């Protein structure tokens, strides 16, 4: 038994090393980073974090990112719910083809869409808004949400729907008061995945914004190139981007495994 648990421990250690290094770097002064190697911060400093929390370009980067991620998550889950219900309960003309077509959008390389998205959202006047990024991210998040929710809904027996109708429930009332509470976990997992993929995606978010809705990633790259590579500051900014993910993952910890399997276990 002892020997077996060695593998996960080693694996987690491997995962944590670069993260540790990022966090350690964020507490070092630029001087210390450039002057030589040190395993722990010698002169512990909060300077880098203070810069981020006092400079509007920095903290607005976080606010912008969280804004479009939230819009995207709400939008994706709301439109995916009825669609997933339709796929899990009914057969209709072209359902299989439609489902596959939705999935193909999850397969599309983001690089393919960068330029056309830029032109599309510029032409409808949404360039450099939260809505542009949120809408662009629905391209891969909506299919994902439909897929996950469909998997969870399939696990709910159809008798539940039928009994409710016999009891005189209307469809909207049944859906909100009976069906939704039954797939709470699925909704949570779908929302988590939408949050995750919108939060980590950077190519489209950067292409579709300039000043007003600039995500934290764009602030980071611009700082990296303009301010002569301040590694400590970059590390602090990176460390702060890990925190929202770490918080949301704690809430879905019991469902992540099933979620990654798209509810198909």
Contacts of other proteins in 14-43 (CB under 8 A): 14-19, 21-22, 25, 33-34, 36-37, 39
> Of 150-169, which residues contact other proteins (CB under 8 A)?
158
* Closer residue to other proteins in complex, CB, 182/244: 244
* Rounded Cα distance, 213 and 234, in Å: 20
Binding status of residue 189 toward other proteins by CB under 8 A: no
Binding status of residue 221 toward other proteins by CB under 8 A: yes
> Of 116-135, which residues contact other proteins (CB under 8 A)?
116-117, 119-120, 135
Give backbone dihedrals phi and psi of 23, rounded to 5 degrees, phi first.
-65, -45
Q: What does DSSP assign to residue 177?
A: I
Tokens representing residue 191 in the block: 């929302």
Residue with tokens 């301040």: 230
When binding is defined by CB under 8 A, the residue of 113, 130, 152, 179 that contacts other proteins is 113
Tokens representing residue 229 in the block: 């590579």
Min CB(17)–other proteins separation in Å: 7
* Rounded Cα distance, 130 and 134, in Å: 6
Q: What does DSSP assign to residue 175?
A: I
Contact 134, 68 (CB under 8 A): yes
Binding status of residue 236 toward other proteins by CB under 8 A: no
Q: Which among 42-50, 52-60, 98-106, 181-189 is the span making contact with other proteins, rule CB under 8 A?
A: 98-106
Min CB(11)–other proteins separation in Å: 5
Binding status of residue 253 toward other proteins by CB under 8 A: yes
Chain-centroid distance, C-alpha 178:
28
Contact 105, 139 (CB under 8 A): yes
Binding status of residue 80 toward other proteins by CB under 8 A: yes
């Amino acid at each position: 038994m002892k020997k077996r648990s060695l593998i996960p421990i080693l694996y987690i250690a491997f995962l944590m090393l670069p993260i540790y290094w990022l966090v350690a770097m964020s507490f070092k002064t630029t001087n210390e980073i450039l002057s030589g190697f040190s395993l722990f911060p010698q002169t512990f400093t909060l300077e880098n974090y203070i810069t981020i929390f006092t400079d509007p370009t920095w903290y607005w980067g976080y606010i912008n990112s969280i804004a479009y991620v939230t819009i995207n998550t709400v939008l994706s889950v709301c439109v995916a719910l009825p669609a997933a219900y339709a796929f899990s309960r009914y057969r209709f003309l072209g359902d299989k083809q439609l489902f596959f077509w939705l999935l193909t959008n999850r397969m599309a390389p983001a690089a393919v869409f960068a330029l056309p998205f830029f032109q599309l959202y510029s032409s409808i006047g949404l360039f450099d808004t939260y809505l542009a990024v949120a809408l662009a991210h629905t391209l891969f998040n909506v299919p994902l949400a439909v897929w996950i929710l469909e998997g969870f809904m399939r696990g709910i027996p159809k008798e539940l729907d039928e009994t409710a109708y016999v009891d005189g429930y209307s469809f909207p009332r049944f859906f909100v008061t009976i069906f939704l509470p039954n797939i709470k976990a699925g909704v949570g997992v779908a929302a988590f995945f939408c949050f995750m993929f919108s939060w980590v995606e950077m190519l489209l978010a950067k292409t579709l914004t300039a000043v007003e809705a600039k995500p934290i990633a764009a602030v980071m790259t611009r700082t990296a190139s303009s301010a002569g590579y301040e590694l400590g500051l970059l590390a602090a900014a990176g460390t702060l981007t890990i925190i929202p993910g770490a918080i949301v993952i704690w809430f879905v910890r019991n469902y992540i495994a099933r979620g990654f399997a798209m509810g198909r276990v």
